[in-house]
Structure formats: C-alpha cells, structure tokens
Structure 1
C-alpha cells in the first residue's frame, strides 16, 4: 500500500488555496462596495473645488474693485493737503490705518481661500489615487482567480486518478485472494486424479496400442484440468472487468 501522506499534503494545499481564494473574493467584494462611495466623494470634491474656484474669482474681482477706491482715497488727502497747505496729520493717519487694515483683511481672506483650494486639490488627488489602487487590486484578484480554477481542476483530476489506482489495487488484492481460495480445490482435484490414475509401469502382457491409449487418456485428463483452470481464470477476469466497467459507469 502507498503512503497516504502525499495525498494528505495535496488536500491540505488545495484547502489552503480555496481558503485564500475565498478571502480574496471577500476582499474584492468589500473594495467593490467602496467604489460608489469613492466616486461620490470624488464628485463632491470636484463640485467643492469648482465652487471654491468660482468664489476665488469673485473675491479677486471684488478685491480689484475695492482697490481702486482705496487708492483714490489715499491720493485724495495728499492732493487736498498740497492744495490747501494744511491738513490734520492725525486724521490722515487714522484713515491710512483703516485702509491698511481693510487691505490686510482682504489679503488674509485671499490667502485662506487659496489654502482651502490647495487642500481640496490634494484631497481630490488622494481620492483618485485610492480609486486607481482599488481598480488595480481588483484586476489582480480577477487574474488570480483563473489559476485557482486550473489548480482545482488539476487537483480534482489527481484525486480521481488516486481513486482509480486505489480501486485497481483493491481489485487486484481480491483476485489474488480468490486465486488462493481456488488453489486448494484445484490441487485436491489433481491429487485425486493422481490417486485414481497412478502412473503404473507397463506390464509384460500389455500391448503397445494399449499403452499409447492409456498415455493419451492421461494427457487428455491433464489437458482437461488445465483447460478447466484456464476457463475459471477467464471467467474471474471477465467478472472483474465487469465490476470495473460498472464502477466507471457509476462514477461517470
């Protein structure tokens, strides 16, 4: 009998591959389920980016419109002071500080909007990178599914071959056992034949044709026994072949 360890190792490897395939399939399902969420997040980020870009453009236009009055206001006190030769330094200083504060506030707002726009762009890039990574992993898992199918088919074929070999070995052992069982009766028949028909020496009164006839009779009996044994073996072989054919049909 063959050692069953290779078969056990093959079954263990097959079971491990099946478990790995199931885990990869569950991972793929989870990743595919995240795709709509990623698409929605990407669309939302793009909408937010467009909204902020539009808002930034509006702020830039607004800043440009506000810059003209501020510049005019800065020039008017200087022109008035030059024209009159007098002016209040304190009032001019307060006006300049107020205008400078307004300009600083506009610059801070502009920088905040630019920073938000940069953060949104970075977020969109991360989402796109994650989407590309998920797509690549999904393609890799799909490619790995086909080799697993082939491996399962090969393992199934090997298992079928092992079953056939085991059945043939069992049939061979059964045939040997039956031959051993029949060996006793056949030997008994031969012994009985020798007892009933001993090999006597030729008597002086016997004629040559009689001696030849007795020898022919013994040969015929021996041939009959041999023929009977051959027939028994042929019938056993036919029965074994019939069992094998029946077993193959049942498996198919």
Structure 2
C-alpha cells in the first residue's frame, strides 16, 4: 500500500467506522434468514479498513452456507479473512467460535468484526493475523482451539498450488470426522495465473466425497469445492503427483 493511500485511509477511518457500525446496527435490527445474511455479506459496503464484502458468486456462496448450516457448526475456522464477508456469514452459523486468519494486520477491523454474531448468539469472532504457513501460526490456531476440533474449515488464502496444499495439509487435522472443508476458486479456467487451487482440488476429488458449487460450467474463475471429511479424517495429498 502506498504512503498516500495509507494516510488517506487513516484520515477517513473515523468516518468509515461510523458508517460501518451504523450498517451493522441495521443488520442486527431484525432476525435474518440465511439468504439475507449472504446478501448483507455481499452488499454491506463501507470503505477503507472498515469495508465488508465477500468476493463470491451469490449462488455458490449460498449453497455453501446452506451446507454448513445443515451440520449446525459450533466452531468454524477460515484461512483468508479479506474484507470479512464470509466471516459475517460464518458468525451467523457458528454457535461457539469463528476463527478467521489473514496475512494482514486486522487490529483496525477487530472492533467491527468481533460484533458480527447476531444478538443473543454465544459465538465469538477471533481474528488472527500472520502467515498461515508459519508453524508458530499453526500453534496459535491450536491454542485458540484448546483441543477442540472445528466443524468447518474454509480455505481461501494463498491460491498457489503449493500454498493452498500447505494450508490444507497444515489445518485438515483440526477438522472433526464428518466435518466439512471448502475451497474457493476451484475451476481450472482462472483469470489469474496464481489461482492454482484446481490442481489440489483435482487430487482431493479422488480421495474423499466432494461436491462442487459452480454457477456456470464455462465461467472464468470462482467455483467452490466442498470436501466431506471421512470418519478416518481428511486424506493427505502431500507428495502426490499430478
């Protein structure tokens, strides 16, 4: 981020924060259906560090949210917070905790994102900043879980083949048998050469029950893959050739 852009964000931060908290108050003013929660995640708006948005296709993220809601999750872990849109959705579904991890410092967003759970919910949103590939960061996640397993893991961080594979291998063991693991941008046709999730997804489909949520078969980018974790645990793919 340029010095000028960073300075501009700092100056505008109080205004962006007021707008974001006002929007959150509107969101919490009435009970929301799952469809409404997804719509809010996509159109919450805001600016600077206080912008909330999910970069998903509506039909794909809705189908994923429905699948996650069906297992009545207690704990959700996501790798890749970005603008917090998916965290808003997970906070409406988890009964206990949402642990959201990102490479960037999220201290400015924490006061807003921590208030994502709806009124009356016992869910807590925990933001962890750091490199998910760092063993010490994995230990921080383990510390937050305190021996408990997660019901759903959403991997939407490093999209390179090596990066997404590392995140899967490092965090799959935290997911309970019968739980779910999802990946974003699974389609082979991607607008960015660094979006390489397809290569991991192709291997995983051979090793566990999966579903794909894709709006159009010939679309460029997007696509969500959902892996149903077997009773013996999520399968390894490390060292498996194409």
> Which category describes the TM-score, using the shorter chain as reference length?
under 0.3
Higher fraction of strand: 2
Structure number with greater CO (CA < 8 Å, separation at least 6) is 1
TM-score, normalised via structure 2 length: 0.15
Higher fraction of helix: 1
